[in-house]
């Protein structure tokens, strides 16, 4: 009785005989056998493979070409994994009912392999598989590794079994060790299917690829398992170049047998016994056993990058990138928002905007400045500035300055309200500092369009006026809409303050007032005679007669009349400032003459005589105007009623009568009948001399300075409306005193 049935699987041509050098395979070598590709180092025919071990024979069976390695049909060759997939033969042990005995099926005699063979049974992918309900099979490698394994499969009833389950019931799988190049299979005789042949005639045992096997219950009671691939199943063989132990040795041996010819290839030590295989380096694919066999992989073709990103294939590798504003994160292989970049871009845009805004801002500034300069030039031209400028050039040594607007703004601290010296019908007077010298700067409210062109001319004439009783005009500014005038600054006080000021109305000597009136008349007379047509002051009043340190009179504000508007609406504004002084004739004709100034001066004489304001805010219509009161008093010979009491007592009747008479003449309703300013000045001069007569009491004039130490408001042009009524109004008047006109 035979105890062991032995199957010897001979792995063909296991004796390796290597060519001394690597021959480049001819391009004529067939690379295909049937449907199977045969890549180098494998080959069909002479000089087509790396060595005899890689020789593949291509056989025709049933009219189909099939590649064979020895007895095994080759299904697939893998260069990257170093494997060969072949068909292995199934062994079976079956009960024959007619002979009532067990029979062995399959190959049981074959070659014994050698250690130098290229091929090893894959320990990773193969399992020794036994199928049956009363089966026990050995796998043995006595002459190789010395390994012996056991596969056992049992079952009592088909209903105990399950498809896909191979864990001992009807099916078992056993792993094998590495380095096996040979095995035989033996069924144990005493474990047979003689008792259960009706539902399980055969037991099977085979070393096969585990991944493709799936147990089916029908394998127990039919011959389905054997029939699947004609008594064969797939098995995996590990191949390698095994003439040297490892890659290190292969690379050291420089005799030209190193199989990894491609420059982009790596040597990989075999995982199953000695030897090595070749593999293309990462990022390359192809045949590492051929020169230039490893080609760059287009990794992007299989989309390794995030779907919302970009893939860039570069030699040996690839790069992923993302759209603008996103950042590639390698760890998660995703495109994440790139906050840094976004912030950077925003900051960048912001910076650009700021720069643009600055440019626009400066551009506008420049344009505006140019516009402003143009406007200034236009005004300058309109105001006759060019004519004035030309004349000034020709008349050297003229003490007259054309100021720029900027100069005056600087001088007045941008027309600061704290610098205002006075306000009037014509405009506002500021105190300014130019070249460390105080000046009075008059900024008019309105200007008469018709007068504009002659303005420069007029300024030139006014600038030439040099009289000790006329405030000096230092210059003007023409580059503004309404020209600005710059006068000499007169420190002290006004005649208005002297007469109507609360504290010293009674203390100022009459002769001082008389002198001041005379000086003012001289100044006005000079103005009238200076040029032809005469320069008309137009706004003669006590507040426009300034007093310097020595109480010398200086007529101010004369230039303003040139700017005075002649249309009705603006005229009213002016009247408001000069009520009580205004020539009644002018009211009707709207035409200012030198006699208008004479009339106004007459009112000043009345103020000196009566100590009263030219216009009272109380009383009947007739009693409001000082001129009317005075004239009616003269008519009724009641002059004493209106005169200041102490004057009445102290001054000679002759002097007072002379003054009253002069005033009356000045106040004549008809301008032509009034005396000229020169005549007025001369008459005053005469009357002053009369007052200096020995029998007339003499005042010491400078005494006034001591009395007037107070810092007074500088009324260049103080409006009268709302001004408190002077105390002199309530002075007792002696009704018996009478003065006569000459």
Ligand X SMILES: *[C@@H]1O[C@H](CO)[C@@H](O)[C@H](O)[C@H]1NC(C)=O
User: Distance (Å, rounded) from C-alpha 703 to C-alpha 509?
Assistant: 8
Site string for ligand X, 257-296 (x = CB under 6 A): x----------x--------x-x--x--------------
For ligand X, the closer of residues 217 and 512 by Cβ is 217
Q: In the chain, what is the greatest distance between 2 CA atoms, to the nearest angstrom?
A: 193
Q: Which of 607, 694, 605, 729 is nearest to 658 (CA)?
A: 605
Tokens of 476: 């003007």
Q: Which residue among 21, 63, 190, 732 contacts ligand X (CB under 6 A)? A: 190
Q: Does residue number 154 form part of the binding site for ligand X (CB under 6 A)?
A: no
For ligand X, the closer of residues 21 and 709 by Cβ is 21
Cβ atoms within 10 Å, residue 382: 19
442 assigned to a ligand binding site: yes
User: Distance (Å, rounded) from C-alpha 237 to C-alpha 7?
Assistant: 18
Q: Which residue among 32, 35, 101, 503 contacts ligand X (CB under 6 A)? A: 101
User: Distance (Å, rounded) from C-alpha 423 to C-alpha 717?
Assistant: 6
Q: Which residue among 230, 414, 435, 706 contacts ligand X (CB under 6 A)? A: 230
Beta carbon of residue 175, minimum distance to ligand X (angstroms, whole number): 20
Q: Which residue among 105, 197, 229, 723 contacts ligand X (CB under 6 A)? A: 105
Beta carbon of residue 343, minimum distance to ligand X (angstroms, whole number): 41
Q: β-strands 473-477, 401-402: how paired?
A: parallel
For ligand X, the closer of residues 194 and 734 by Cβ is 194
User: Distance (Å, rounded) from C-alpha 238 to C-alpha 119?
Assistant: 6
Beta carbon of residue 312, minimum distance to ligand X (angstroms, whole number): 20
Site string for ligand X, 12-51 (x = CB under 6 A): ---------------------------------xxx-x--
Site string for ligand X, 622-661 (x = CB under 6 A): ----------------------------------------
Round to the nearest angstrom and report the end-to-end CA distance of the chain.
190
Residues 57-96 that bind ligand X (CB under 6 A): 57, 80-82, 92, 94, 96
Site string for ligand X, 241-260 (x = CB under 6 A): ---x----x--xx-x-x---
- Please tell me the count of residues contacting ligand X according to CB under 6 A: 46
For ligand X, the closer of residues 244 and 335 by Cβ is 244
Binding range to ligand X, per CB under 6 A, among 224-232, 319-327, 518-526, 648-656: 224-232
For ligand X, the closer of residues 186 and 543 by Cβ is 186
For ligand X, the closer of residues 3 and 46 by Cβ is 46
Three-state secondary structure string covering 253-314: CCCCCCCCCCCCEEEEECCCCCCEEEEECCCEEECCCCCCCEEECCHHHHCCCCCCEEEEEE
Q: Which residue among 3, 62, 64, 98 contacts ligand X (CB under 6 A)? A: 98
Do 682 and 650 touch, CB atoms closer than 8 A?
Answer: no
Q: What is the DSSP string of 217-267?
A: THHHHSSHHHHHTTSEEEEEEEE-B-SSSSHHHHHH--SS-----STTEEE
CA distances, 38 to each of 70, 192, 268, 709 (Å): 15, 43, 21, 131
What angle, rounded to 10 degrees, do the helices at 677-691 and 653-666 form? Answer: 170
Q: Does residue number 52 form part of the binding site for ligand X (CB under 6 A)?
A: yes
Beta carbon of residue 325, minimum distance to ligand X (angstroms, whole number): 35
Backbone angles phi, psi at 390, to 5 degrees: -60, -45
CA distances, 704 to each of 650, 687, 729 (Å): 17, 20, 22
Q: Does residue number 588 form part of the binding site for ligand X (CB under 6 A)?
A: no
For ligand X, the closer of residues 238 and 607 by Cβ is 238
Residue showing tokens 């006005």: 524
Interface contacts to ligand X, rule CB under 6 A: 45-47, 49, 52, 55, 57, 80-82, 92, 94, 96, 98-99, 101-102, 105, 112, 142-143, 157, 159, 163, 190, 192, 194, 199, 202, 216, 218, 223-224, 226, 230-231, 244, 249, 252-253, 255, 257, 268, 277, 279, 282
> Residues at the annotated binding site for ATP?
442
């Amino acid at each position: 009785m035979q105890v062991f049935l032995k199957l010897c699987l001979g792995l063909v041509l296991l004796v390796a005989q290597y060519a001394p050098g690597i021959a480049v395979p001819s391009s004529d070598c067939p690379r295909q056998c049937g449907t199977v590709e045969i890549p180098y180092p494998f080959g069909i025919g002479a000089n087509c493979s790396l060595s005899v071990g890689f020789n593949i024979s291509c056989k025709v069976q049933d009219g189909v070409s099939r590649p064979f390695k020895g007895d095994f049909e080759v299904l697939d060759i893998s260069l990257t994994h170093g494997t060969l997939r072949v068909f292995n033969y199934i062994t079976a042990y079956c009960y024959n009912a007619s002979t009532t005995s067990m029979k062995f099926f399959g190959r049981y005699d074959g070659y014994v392999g050698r250690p130098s063979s290229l091929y090893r049974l894959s320990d990773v992918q193969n399992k020794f598989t036994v199928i049956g309900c009363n089966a026990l099979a050995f796998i043995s490698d006595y002459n190789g590794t010395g390994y012996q394994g056991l596969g056992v499969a049992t079952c009592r009833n088909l209903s105990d079994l399950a498809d896909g389950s191979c864990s001992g019931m009807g099916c078992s799988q056993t792993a094998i060790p590495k380095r096996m190049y040979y095995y035989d299979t033996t069924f144990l005789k005493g474990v047979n299917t003689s008792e259960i042949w009706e539902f399980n005639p055969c037991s099977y045992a085979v070393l096969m690829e585990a991944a493709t096997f799936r147990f089916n219950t029908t394998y127990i009671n039919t011959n389905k398992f054997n029939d699947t691939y004609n008594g064969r199943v797939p098995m995996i063989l590990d191949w390698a170049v095994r003439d040297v132990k490892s890659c290190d040795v292969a690379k050291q041996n420089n005799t030209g047998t190193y199989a990894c010819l491609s420059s982009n290839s790596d040597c990989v030590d075999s995982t199953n016994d000695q030897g090595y295989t070749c593999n293309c380096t990462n990022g390359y694919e192809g045949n590492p056993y051929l020169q230039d066999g490893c080609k760059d992989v287009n990794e992007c073709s299989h989309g390794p990058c995030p779907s919302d990103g970009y893939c860039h294939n570069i030699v040996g590798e690839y790069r992923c990138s993302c759209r603008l504003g996103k950042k590639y994160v390698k760890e998660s292989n995703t495109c994440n928002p790139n906050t840094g970049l976004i912030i950077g871009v925003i900051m960048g845009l912001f910076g650009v905007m700021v720069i643009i805004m600055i440019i626009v801002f400066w551009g506008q500034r420049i344009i505006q400045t140019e516009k402003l300069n143009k406007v200034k030039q236009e005004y300058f031209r309109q105001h006759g500035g060019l004519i004035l400028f030309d004349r000034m050039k020709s008349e050297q040594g003229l003490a007259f300055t054309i100021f720029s607007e900027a100069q005056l703004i600087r001088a007045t601290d941008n027309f600061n309200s704290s610098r205002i010296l006075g306000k009037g019908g014509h405009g506002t007077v500021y105190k300014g500092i130019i070249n460390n010298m105080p000046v009075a700067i008059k900024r008019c409210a309105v200007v008469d369009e018709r007068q504009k062109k002659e303005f420069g001319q007029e300024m030139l004439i006014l600038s030439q006026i040099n009289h000790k009783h006329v405030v000096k005009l230092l210059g003007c500014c023409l580059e503004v809409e309404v020209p600005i005038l710059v006068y000499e600054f007169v420190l002290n006080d006004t005649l208005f303050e002297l007469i109507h000021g609360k504290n010293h109305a009674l203390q100022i000597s009459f002769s001082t007032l008389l002198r001041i009136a005379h000086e003012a008349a001289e100044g006005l007379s000079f103005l009238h005679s200076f040029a032809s047509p005469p320069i008309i002051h137009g706004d003669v009043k006590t507040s426009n007669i300034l007093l310097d340190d020595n109480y010398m009179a200086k007529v101010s504000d004369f230039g303003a009349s040139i700017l005075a508007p002649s249309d009705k609406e603006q005229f009213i504004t002016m009247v408001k400032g000069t009520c009580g002084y205004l020539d009644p004739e002018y009211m009707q004709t709207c035409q200012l003459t030198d006699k208008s100034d004479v009339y106004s001066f007459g009112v000043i004489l009345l103020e000196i005589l009566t100590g009263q304001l030219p216009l009272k805010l109380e009383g009947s219509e007739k009693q409001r105007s000082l001129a009317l009161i005075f004239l009616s008093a003269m008519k009724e010979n009641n002059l004493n009623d209106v005169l200041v009491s102490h004057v009445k007592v102290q001054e000679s009747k002759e002097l007072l009568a002379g003054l009253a008479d002069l005033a009356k003449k000045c106040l004549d309703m008809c301008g032509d009948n009034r005396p000229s300013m020169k005549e007025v000045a001369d008459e005053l001069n005469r009357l002053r001399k009369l007052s200096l007569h020995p029998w007339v009491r003499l005042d010491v004039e400078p005494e006034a300075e001591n009395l007037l130490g107070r810092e007074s408001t500088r009324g260049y042009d103080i409006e009268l409306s709302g001004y408190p009524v002077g105390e002199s109004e309530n002075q007792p008047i002696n009704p018996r005193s009478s003065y006569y006109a000459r």
